Structure 1
Amino acid sequence: MTAERLVIERLGHRGDGIAPGPVFVPRTLPGEEVEGTVEEGRMPAPRILAPSAERVRPRCRHYLTCGGCAVMHAADPFVAAWKTGIVTEALRAQGLDAPVVGIATSSPNTRRRAALSGRRTKAGALVGLHRRGSDQIVAVPDCHVLAPPILAGLPALEALVAAGGSRKHEMTLRVTASESGLDVATEGGKPLDRALSERLAELAGLHDLARLTWEGEPVAEARRPVIRFAGVEVSPPPGAFLQATEEGQSALIASVAKAIGPAGRVVDLFAGCGTFALPLSRGAEVHAVESDAPALEALGAAWRRGTGLRALTVARRDLFRDPLTALELGGFDAAVIDPPRAGAEAQVTEIARSGLSVVASVSCNPVSFARDARILAGAGFALDWVRVVDQFRWSPHVEIAAAFSR
């Protein structure tokens, strides 16, 4: 195939450079001239002829092979502006202005929660992240994103995969660096029998894991895993959703508290293990609603152990199928909503119909956030401010905290 020369016009939402065509060119930057063969609208192996002034040397030796990071070749101010732009563009597409008050970017090597891939090999096991655009696993012992306890625990994860993994099938290892040690939950491993259970428990003890859960079954728990939400101690269930970094979590908690202000009674929708409900209960009565029973149990247990917390009630409810109605929301001064990536169109519609005047919104998807923001705006809410939170450094992912009022 004949090589083509192209000039990158802009960066797409997944971090690829986009040239006229469009042609997607990985790990390039706007204004760069590149050369390479184009295959089905992509230039998979570009040669940089004229680099951008924003180009920097990637700090991680795994960057060329690992697919975990997409923009480590770009200067930090450029990445911050790009991620902020993703949010403002999504809102602009809905006809909304974006009063962005800044971006909170997590430091390198602070990601405390990760889903790693593992596969047994002839020599033992391989644990890491996927190669870009491939199901091949790449070992990442010197990763610049994962927190040091997770990096130090890679030999333990390899040992678990060697003992209970398969050469034919890939395993997923969900790892959380808790205060009391690594909390590991696996998927895709061999079925537990007595011999495997004993071997896995032995390995958990040898590598000093706080807890090991295998295919949903408890195998070992030397210590109760502990995470803190603004000082409130929580023991999350195995594999539970948590904010990826403590810095990002702190930025989101502070943003939600600012948005809520002096509200005396707050409803927390999609509450999880209590990331926002528990800190808010220091100054307000909180009703936490969540569909996941183990998460609600962890939230309730944390509240009972806590001190100086006001009344907190919980309810298990699928807010996608059965959102709190406008009438039910009428007893609250403010709402916090932190839905999954799909957003919460049905629940936001009920908020728009309610008498609520204050909403703190947290989202990991600028597109669904903007759609839901449009619903609130149509009901008289003003988007007071937006704070961008970058917990997944050098990746295309971006999170948002925002305040609405009317």
Structure 2
Amino acid sequence: MDTYRIDRLGHQGDGIAAGPVFVPLTLPGEEVTGRRDGDRLFDVRIVTPAPERVAAPCRHFRSCGGCALQHAAPDYIADWKAGIVRQALAAHGIEATIANVHTSPERSRRRATMSARRTKKGALAGFHARASDVVVEIPDCHLLHPDLMAALPVAEALAIAAGSRKGELSVQATLSLAGLDVAAKGGKPLDGPLQIALAQLAEVHGLARLTWDDEAVAMRHAPDQLFGRGRVTPPPGAFLQATADGEAALLDAVSTLMQGKSRIADLFAGCGTFTLPLAEHAEVHAVEGEAAMLAALDRGWRHTPGLKQVTHEARDLFRRPLMPDELARFDGVVIDPPRAGAAAQVGELARARVPVIAHVSCNPVTFARDAATLVAAGYALGPVTVVDQFRWSAHVELVAGFTLTSS
């Protein structure tokens, strides 16, 4: 066995020793021993633990790959995630003030994708083991909302009804106002008998909606989500913030930045997470690439009395960003792109010189790249709010405001 000292945490949450050698479930400053294979250490034993090491709250932590950092104190994780943001911005010569790190509580995840397999005795459902395709059962998960735990027996039942012993079923489950909204992929092809069986399964388990390979096979109740005062029925598998707590933190930061604005563009608007709450005080133009999500947003707006005008546009903002002449009528813009960021659209925002931009991001690296574009165009970066709704993971989300300071 070789001995190593952990120097730092990598962006995936693994400890890194000189080499580099990647050592999962370790913390900086720890001395460890293990068997090296390539650039990874196996059969790891902690010789000298770091002061920040804590006992993992979940009994599944060692076997389950759903969490990476339960062995670290909460304050340490918050500081580490704030540091990831600072480091990404510093690579572009930008200094940042971290206003807050908001961490969602335990057992608050309202959506998750589970894996399910048929077995000789029935089925099992859960998350993959760390760096493995083995499915680990998680009956005492500390990550998922208690109501979302009901999706585990649903996933098992789906695997028994239509799974393959050789394959794996992917089951995305989301909490809605009417119960579980379940979308499954990877099972048997849908035919008449299977459709009947799945509809019966949805009835037995009280599902709001069940979708099989993108085709809705049962909808007992509309699986509505509440965005501000607007009730929206998202299309199957549509994006939703991971926790209600995290969504509220993001919305609070965005709303503060948009306070006093009368005409707002919401880019990458999805089903209206920000659009509908902002429409309580301003006219909003929502732009999103998926027409089905915009249709859901529009229905939600039309059935919610008292909101200001909401218009919408289906548009691929990567290939066809809004141009300066189109942006000229807005005094505020909200942009919430996927992990790839929005280089093309941010470039046009910089040219348009929109007064205030609220930038929501799930990737500090692409955020920093886009922030550099805005700063070079005369924008000042305000305090950054880090939102950790993927608790105990290496995932980092944030909101930051950019204000035009030069003419």
| Superposition TM-score tier, normalisation by shorter sequence | over 0.9
Alignment-derived partner of residue 398 in structure 1: 396
Alignment of structure 1 residues 2-401 onto 2, 5 Å: 3-401=1-399
How big is the shift at 1:194?
A: 1.0
How big is the shift at 1:242?
A: 0.3
How big is the shift at 1:153?
A: 2.7
Task: Supply the distance in 2 between the matched residues of 1:117 and 1:349 (Cα, whole angstroms).
Answer: 40
Deviating more after overlay: 22-31 vs 163-172: 163-172
How big is the shift at 1:118?
A: 1.5
Provide the TM-score with structure 1 as the length reference.
Answer: 0.98
SS in structure 2 of the partner of residue 38 of structure 1: strand
SS in structure 1 of the partner of residue 62 of structure 2: coil
Task: Supply the distance in 2 between the matched residues of 1:253 and 1:402 (Cα, whole angstroms).
Answer: 12
Task: Supply the distance in 2 between the matched residues of 1:349 and 1:45 (Cα, whole angstroms).
Answer: 48
How big is the shift at 1:150?
A: 1.4
Task: Supply the distance in 1 between the matched residues of 2:138 and 2:362 (Cα, whole angstroms).
Answer: 25
How big is the shift at 1:126?
A: 1.7
Task: Supply the distance in 1 between the matched residues of 2:340 and 2:357 (Cα, whole angstroms).
Answer: 18
Flag as ranges the 4+ runs of structure 1 deviating above 3 A: none
- Specify the code of the residue in structure 1 equivalent to 2:381: L
Give the aligned length: 404
Task: Supply the distance in 2 between the matched residues of 1:44 and 1:399 (Cα, whole angstroms).
Answer: 31
How big is the shift at 1:151?
A: 0.8
Q: Which segments of 5 or more consecutive residues in structure 1 lack a partner in the other structure?
A: none
CA contact (8 A) 2:229 2:304 kept: no
CA contact (8 A) 2:229 2:276 kept: no
Task: Supply the distance in 1 between the matched residues of 2:16 and 2:320 (Cα, whole angstroms).
Answer: 41
Deviating more after overlay: 245-254 vs 134-143: 134-143
- Specify the code of the residue in structure 1 equivalent to 2:209: R
Task: Supply the distance in 2 between the matched residues of 1:366 and 1:316 (Cα, whole angstroms).
Answer: 27
Task: Supply the distance in 1 between the matched residues of 2:298 and 2:42 (Cα, whole angstroms).
Answer: 50
- Specify the code of the residue in structure 2 equivalent to 1:141: P
CA contact (8 A) 1:230 1:250 kept: no
SS in structure 1 of the partner of residue 89 of structure 2: helix
Q: Deviations over 1:197-231 (max 9, x none)?
A: 11111111001001001111111111101211233
How big is the shift at 1:124?
A: 1.5
Provide the TM-score with structure 2 as the length reference.
Answer: 0.98
Q: Deviations over 1:81-128 (max 9, x none)?
A: 011111111011111111110111000010001111112222212211
* RMSD over equivalenced CA pairs, Å: 0.9
How big is the shift at 1:373?
A: 0.3
Task: Supply the distance in 2 between the matched residues of 1:103 and 1:137 (Cα, whole angstroms).
Answer: 32
SS in structure 2 of the partner of residue 9 of structure 1: strand
**What percentage of residue pairs aligned between the two structures are identical?**
55
Deviating more after overlay: 35-44 vs 338-347: 35-44
SS in structure 1 of the partner of residue 42 of structure 2: coil
SS in structure 2 of the partner of residue 403 of structure 1: strand
Q: Deviations over 1:232-270 (max 9, x none)?
A: 221111111000000000000011011112110000000
Q: Deviations over 1:54-93 (max 9, x none)?
A: 1111011110011110000001100110111111110111
CA contact (8 A) 2:375 2:381 kept: yes
Task: Supply the distance in 2 between the matched residues of 1:293 and 1:191 (Cα, whole angstroms).
Answer: 26
- Specify the code of the residue in structure 2 equivalent to 1:323: P
- Specify the code of the residue in structure 2 equivalent to 1:324: L
SS in structure 1 of the partner of residue 67 of structure 2: coil
Deviating more after overlay: 123-132 vs 317-326: 123-132
